A and B are shown apart, each in its own frame.
Chain A
Amino acid sequence: MKVSQYTVHSPRTLPEALNILKDATVRPIAGGTDVMVQIKDDLVKETELLNLSYIRDLNYIRDDGDFIRVGALATYSDLIRSRLVNEYSPVLVEAARTVGAVQIQNRGTLAGNVGNASPAGDGLPPLFATGAKIKLQSAASEREVDIGDYFLGVRKTVRQPNELITEVSVRKMKPGDYYFFKKIGLRSANAISLASVAAVLVPAEVLTFKEARIAMGAVAPTVIRAKGAEAAILNCQLTDEKMKEVGRLASEEARPITDIRATAEYRKQAIAGAVYEGLYEIVNGFRSPVNGSGA
């Protein structure tokens, strides 16, 4: 079907939108950077579109105690420009900068990345590494789902057709936390991740860590945590040997596929490398921790 053949609803308020969504044949569209491509490839089965762009109430990034509340219309560019996000979730900013190119960052939303539920979504590993929550609202109900429980498979989530993602709550990182985001793609911009990894490390003492969360993208049907690698980091000296081992453990947990972009074997090798790179940069002073002062 051609774009012009869809019925498009453009409500101004959230209640209106949720009302329209009661009808299950409606597909939400925010920035459209995934939906438009999918329409062209004939992958959108719904015949109606719910255009969210005019719902002002969904366009915000707000400070709320331990969380940054990111409204469903906040784009990557909004995240990159937000002092709050730079201060308390620099790992998300680092990832946002790798999404597509400026044009895509200006249109694409974080909620859309969640909604699209691709394992290669670059906004997602930081959400796993920081512990985010997804708010789902329908005309009748409202609930919050931990990011770790949200995805069921490639393009499969717990979201019901009558629910809208209205907010992504990003848990703030703490001053002193270290982090990295690494993306492996086939070019420097507008590349789909062959593998990606986001990590947040909470220090115990100088360069030893009491908590580690490592999330990997594009190496399984959903973003996954590298639990073995996380465990191996805790409370020990991160020697070169150790960092390589952590990388190896992460790659053992990866279950990538071979496709036209890269082989499974390459993705495994690359993710091991990316994890090592990030750790090395932390240990050798290439990266500063969160300082909580908006730097």
Chain B
Amino acid sequence: MDALDKVTGKIKFFSDMKIEGMLFARVFRSSVAHANIVTLDTAEAERLQGVRAVLTYKDVPGLNAYGAIIPDAPVLGYGKVRFYGEPLALVAADDQETAEKALGLIKAVYEPLPAVHSMDESLKPEAPKLHDRGNIARHALILKGDVDRAFRDAHLTLERTYRTQSQKHMFLEPEAGIAYTDELGNLNILAGGQNPYRDKMQVARSLNISPEKVRVINYPAGGAFGGKDDVTVQIHLALLATKTKRPVKLVWNREESGVGGFHRHPSLITLKTAVSDDGRLLANDSRIYLDTGAYQSFGPTVLDVTIEVINGPYLIPNIRIDANLVYTNNGISSAFRGFGGPQGNFAIESMMDEMAEEMKMDPIDFRLKNLAKSGDIGPFGNSMRNMEGIHEALSRLRNSPLWRLGKELPPKPWIRRGTGVAIAIKGVGFGTIPDYPTAAVELLPQGKIKVLFSNPDYGQGVNTGNAQIVAEALDLPMNEIEVVNADTQYSPDTGSSSASRGTFTSGNALLVACNKMLDRLRMEAALYLESTRDGIEYASGRFWIKGNESKSVSIYDLAKGLRAKGETLKFEGTFEVPRYPEPVKGTLEVPHVVYMYGAMVSSIELNTLTGYLDVKNVDLMADIGNVINPLLATTQCEGGIVQGLGFATSEELVYNQDEKPMNTNYTTYIVPSIADIPRMYVEFIKTYEQYGPYGAKGMAEIPIVPVGASIANALKQASGVRYYQLPLTPGRVLSKLHEQGQG
């Protein structure tokens, strides 16, 4: 819908915007990872010509904390610093250079505290405590059956530890926004974000003003991937705009996004898994640790997703999950496409592969044998639904040319080929958390339908998908549909763009709204056509009397009549997302009613001389329900695969001794380039989700979840060496090849 305007540059992102009289903001950030703040001296910066405001924690009128789930991160630091790059002061100045210069004049004196570099360190009893309640932010213990007895009786038990790294979102547009107070005294915040109503709430809470005084617009943003789900620039902008009474713009630079922005939770997962002699999974005992960094942000729900995927879509009678969210001084981990899915999936799907190998079973057969079926009871007492899709996906992959042909001998002896499989499960939406998305359609008498909802379209195409859903529901052409996205002044609260819930939630709410509208119009048409509501028919924007098409009226003419009567032409719909009544103890949202599934095969070529992994092909068979827009869905899958490729092979935020992130730009932080992109084949299994809008589930996260494991499994086949840690960089791959005499 907005593709052309985006590629031609017609759409202005917030970082491109200029407003008459605006000031430029910069954030003063800590240059230590863990310390007590002794003094923070802003006097000199305030005196600098052209500086309009310098704010510290003292200038936060409301709650000096933010956090999507638990507000535990200071808006502006005070007392203690817990990560390198923590915001301590804000500057607004007439121009960017002055703001920059002012930062250099702010002096912070710290009393250093020993930093906690890793979860291993954080968990030691003698570790410095990051928060009063200790270094474990959250803990859950979930039991089903009796794992210990299962281990005693098992044919084979394997215990393995898996690690994954911190991944950055690397959206092309960094965290950015602009804020101003309008003539009515309302605070307008235009910023890249994923949930305008939550942003609004967090801003109002910290400024101690009524949410009614805050308007947030999140569209358009240049990418988000979870990294803009929690607050980034919004509260800072609000503080500065309020203080200076001027429009203020704040755009983080790339390096700042690297140190101050969010990233994926590193994971440390130990699985102890048992099978029977005929290859049936008997038990899975998992110990999960996720590094949430200095504050929680989305940590609790990220942990929930890892909990939810750690047994895959398998039927395992005995389960223990011991899950922990751990504080360290490594920035702030938060939402990232897949939440904790890719982490947990890497562990369980590596384990499944190794188990199949030990059992001398084909890895696909092994998985098929253990896959739950519809009606089976899942690990959380939930009923497994619609399992036919993933069964079909996996069976079909076995016949894919990739799986069959991956084994031919390459011409150069140092090149080894391998093919690996992995399957994935990921919930759609917020699980057991009550979720009542509201959206609206508005009839414009001049001949358009306005579609209003708040899940931001930050590039994934939810605007287009929803326009299609409305076009379908009202039987109108796409060019009569207009979208107003993610603007709290107009769009009702549909919640966030996250958890693959965009289409599912707003699509459903819009269907409710469309039905209300058609219902109301039908009655109006009955009146106008002098018939009854049952006596008329509707198609393509017109009502007519059954059997007499010449007596008809268009919805837009009806709109004129309704407007003349002073009636509203806007219809809101609210959808109740199906859920289990209670979360599993220790979690916020486990389990879900609706899950997406995916099965993936990757083929690689490993250079045993350099450790370089060339991922040649990735095939994905996904069950995302009915597909609303095949092009968008396919490109989302391809994007997810490529982001997963980076997670699997090259991306890792690295800290130095002082816990400063070292590789914060595109030169040093290695995202795949266009030349690294494998040949991708994406196919959607034909399924229909009864709760979805037109049978759709969600989809944005499923492609990324199995990539790491499928590539690591391919690498095992190629090299004979199993890797338990991502990313599979040439250095890491080669050193282990040498260790195992395979180099």
Contacts and interface: CB of A to CB of B under 8 A. Distances in A.
Decide whether A and B assemble into one complex.
Answer: yes
Interface of A: 2, 101, 184, 186-192, 194, 260-263, 265-266, 269-270, 272-274, 276-277, 280-281, 286
A190 B730 contact: no
B489 interface: no
Interface in B688-740: 729-731, 734-735, 738
Contacts of A192: 667
Given A269-B738, A270-B610, A262 B674 contact: no
Contact of B675 (A186, A189, A261, A269): A189
A191 B612 CA distance: 13
B414 A187 contact: no
B657 to A, nearest CB: 13
A122 to B, nearest CB: 15
B382 interface: no
A263 B730 CA distance: 11
Contact of B414 (A101, A186, A273): A273
B609 A186 contact: no
Contacts of A266: 611, 730-731, 734-735
In the A-B complex, the 6 residue pairs with the closest CB atoms: A273-B609, A188-B675, A189-B675, A189-B673, A266-B731, A186-B670
A189 B676 contact: yes
Candidate in A192, A194, A260, A272 with the most chain B CB atoms within 10 angstroms: A260
B208 interface: no
Contact of A187 (B97, B411, B676): B676
A187 B672 contact: yes
B668 A261 contact: yes
A186 B650 contact: yes
Given A101-B675, A286-B412, A187 B670 contact: yes
User: Majority SS of interface residues in chain A?
Assistant: loop
B172 to A, nearest CB: 15
A4 to B, nearest CB: 11
B410 to A, nearest CB: 12
A56 to B, nearest CB: 32
A263 B731 CA distance: 7
Interface residues of B, number: 32
B412 A280 contact: yes
Contacts of B413: 280
B673 A188 contact: yes
A277 B607 CA distance: 10
User: Majority SS of interface residues in chain B?
Assistant: loop
17 contacts: A101-B675, A184-B610, A186-B729, A187-B676, A188-B673, A260-B663, A266-B611, A266-B735, A269-B734, A273-B414, A273-B607, A273-B608, A273-B610, A276-B414, A277-B414, A281-B412, A286-B412
A2 B97 contact: yes
B211 interface: no
Contacts of B412: 277, 280-281, 286
Nearest to A192: B667
A267 to B, nearest CB: 9
Contacts of A260: 654, 662-663, 668
A83 B674 CA distance: 27
Interface in B83-98: 97
Contact of B730 (A186, A265, A280, A286): A186
Candidate in A101, A186, A262 with the most chain B CB atoms within 10 angstroms: A186
A2 B96 CA distance: 11
A101 B650 CA distance: 18
A94 to B, nearest CB: 16
Nearest to A284: B412
A262 B729 CA distance: 9
A192 B743 CA distance: 24
A192 B667 CA distance: 8
B674 A101 contact: yes
Contacts of A286: 411-412
Contacts of B411: 286
Contacts of B667: 192
B673 A270 contact: no
A276 B609 contact: yes
A101 B738 CA distance: 32
Nearest to B609: A273
Nearest to A5: B97
A188 B676 contact: yes
Interface in B405-431: 411-414
Candidate in A190, A192, A272, A281 with the most chain B CB atoms within 10 angstroms: A190
B589 to A, nearest CB: 36
Nearest to B731: A266
Candidate in B610, B668, B735 with the most chain A CB atoms within 10 angstroms: B610
A188 B674 CA distance: 8
Nearest to B670: A186
B679 to A, nearest CB: 14
A262 B734 CA distance: 11
B97 A269 contact: no
A272 B608 CA distance: 12
A266 B729 CA distance: 11
Contacts of A184: 610, 612, 730
B616 to A, nearest CB: 12
Contact of A189 (B612, B663, B674): B674
A154 B355 CA distance: 51
Contacts of A190: 666, 673
Contacts of A187: 650, 670, 672-673, 675-676
Interface in B376-407: none
Candidate in B97, B413, B734, B738 with the most chain A CB atoms within 10 angstroms: B734
Nearest to A190: B673
Nearest to A280: B412
Contacts of A270: 609-611, 730, 734
Contacts of B607: 273
A269 B673 contact: no
Contacts of A272: 609
B643 to A, nearest CB: 14
A133 B650 CA distance: 38
Interface in B345-395: none
Contacts of B666: 190
B191 to A, nearest CB: 25
B673 to A, nearest CB: 4
B729 to A, nearest CB: 7
